[in-house]
Amino acid sequence: MNAKKPLVIVTRKLPDVIETRMMELFETRLNLEDTPMSQAELSAAVAEADVLVPTVTDRIDSKILSQAGDNLKLIASFGTGIDHIDFAAAKKRNITVTNTPGVLTEDTADMTMALILAVPRRLSEGERLVRAEKWDGWGPTLMLGHRIWGKRLGIVGMGRIGQAVAHRARGFGLSIHYHNRQRVHPETESELEATYWESLDQMLAHMDIISINCPHTPATFHLLSERRLKLVKPHAYIVNTSRGEVIDEKALTRMLASGEIAGAGLDVFEHEPAVNPKLLNLENVVLLPHMGSATLEGRLDMGEKVIVNIKTFADGHTPPDRVLETMF
């Protein structure tokens, strides 16, 4: 990269302190309106930028990257997920990709635990009842849910977030089970008192609550397919704070409506921001607007990581959060 300040184009509004620091360090072009860039605007940005800072809602596919100028050498994504970037196309053009791992672990785990509590205890239903002024007072059979103490929690994806969820869930008396590409270290397994299931199918068939905490990759698209969802017990609940594409949303919606699955807590959706209209009409589902990582502290930490990645790369060194092919 040239000795002059690199031109950094940011696709969305970031926290003020992050934008100020970026403008001090780089030649920075901000998106002050905070409206998502169109495909044409993204194409224009990659044609001009030395560094592009997209977010997880920007689809940086091969068509967009085909418009990239020779000066685009770094995509410093503001977010942990990388499924919105065509990594193979970036690699072909010798464009380095970075993300912001680690800083959102605790926030996302908090939200996961909140949904694990909210769905069986019918918190959203109760809140709607009060707001609609239809609550006539306490009753012995009013709004009966299910306790989570003593239930089996199956975690799909035992990385940083999955382990953080497990730590929290143990405090609520849940029995920890997990499926992962690779078994975690025995010390971690012992600390979490976690049971490893090599077969995802078998784990799903024995759980009371299932938490999706794996990334979206080609290998995990519809990991919870209709076939696998049919293995889930009718009294079980599903919580997803990872990516909507990991679950066959149409199949899940049908099964929630028919009572084949007791309920779900969804912070992400397969075609977001679009949400299946049938999901909106279900009482046994808690729906959130992809806010699992939405804390001020988390966003500031993400911004700092983006800045470090850009600065390190501009100085001629390998950025600390470079995405590698082995991560897929």
134 shares its domain with 175: yes
Tokens of 30: 């901000």
Order of strands, edge to edge, in the sheet holding 96-98?
Answer: 27-29, 7-10, 51-53, 74-76, 96-98
Clarify whether 243 is annotated catalytic: yes
pLDDT at 328: 47
Q: How many domains does the chain have?
A: 2
How far apart CA 30 and CA 114 sit, in angstroms, is 34
67 shares its domain with 95: yes
pLDDT at 3: 63
59 shares its domain with 18: yes
Tokens of 194: 């976690």
How far apart CA 225 and CA 314 sit, in angstroms, is 43
DSSP state for residue 291 in the 8-state scheme = -
pLDDT at 82: 87
The residues with which 85 forms a beta bridge, in sequence order, are: 60
Residues 6+ apart with CB under 8 A from 137: none
Helices (H), the chain: 16-25, 39-48, 62-65, 87-92, 105-118, 123-131, 160-171, 186-192, 200-206, 226-229, 249-258, 277-280, 296-314
- Out of 19, 27, 272, 304, pick the active-site residue: 272
In a domain, 2, yes or no: no
The 10s digit of each residue's pLDDT in 32-80 is 988 999 999 999 999 999 999 999 889 999 999 999 999 999 999 999 8
- Out of 243, 245, 249, 299, pick the active-site residue: 243
157 shares its domain with 191: yes
How far apart CA 262 and CA 284 sit, in angstroms, is 7
Give burial (CB, 10 Å; 0-12/13-18/19+) of 131.
exposed
Share of the chain above pLDDT 70, in %: 98
Domain harbouring 93, CATH code: 3.40.50.720
The 10s digit of each residue's pLDDT in 182-197 is 999 999 999 999 999 9
In a domain, 1, yes or no: no
Residue 69 has a CB neighbour count (10 Å cut-off) of: 11
Is the pTM for the entire model greater than 0.75?
yes
Clarify whether 290 is annotated catalytic: yes
Query: Which domain range does residue 27 map to?
Result: 7-103+295-327
> Is the pLDDT score of 2 beyond 70?
no
For the chain, give the number of residues. Answer: 328
The 10s digit of each residue's pLDDT in 106-121 is 999 999 999 999 999 9
151 shares its domain with 281: yes
Q: What is the mean pLDDT of residues 260-268?
A: 98
43 shares its domain with 140: no
280 shares its domain with 302: no
What is the average pLDDT value for the chain, to the nearest integer? 96
| pLDDT confidence bin for 84, thresholds 50/70/90 | very high
pLDDT at 4: 84
95 shares its domain with 112: no
How far apart CA 25 and CA 166 sit, in angstroms, is 40
Q: What is the mean pLDDT of residues 245-263?
A: 98
> Is the pLDDT score of 326 beyond 80?
no
In a domain, 315, yes or no: yes
| pLDDT confidence bin for 268, thresholds 50/70/90 | very high
In a domain, 26, yes or no: yes
**Phi/psi of residue 101, each to 5°?**
-75, 160
CA 168 to chain CA centroid, Å, is 18
In a domain, 72, yes or no: yes
> Is the pLDDT score of 327 beyond 80?
no
> Is the pLDDT score of 1 beyond 60?
no
| pLDDT confidence bin for 258, thresholds 50/70/90 | very high
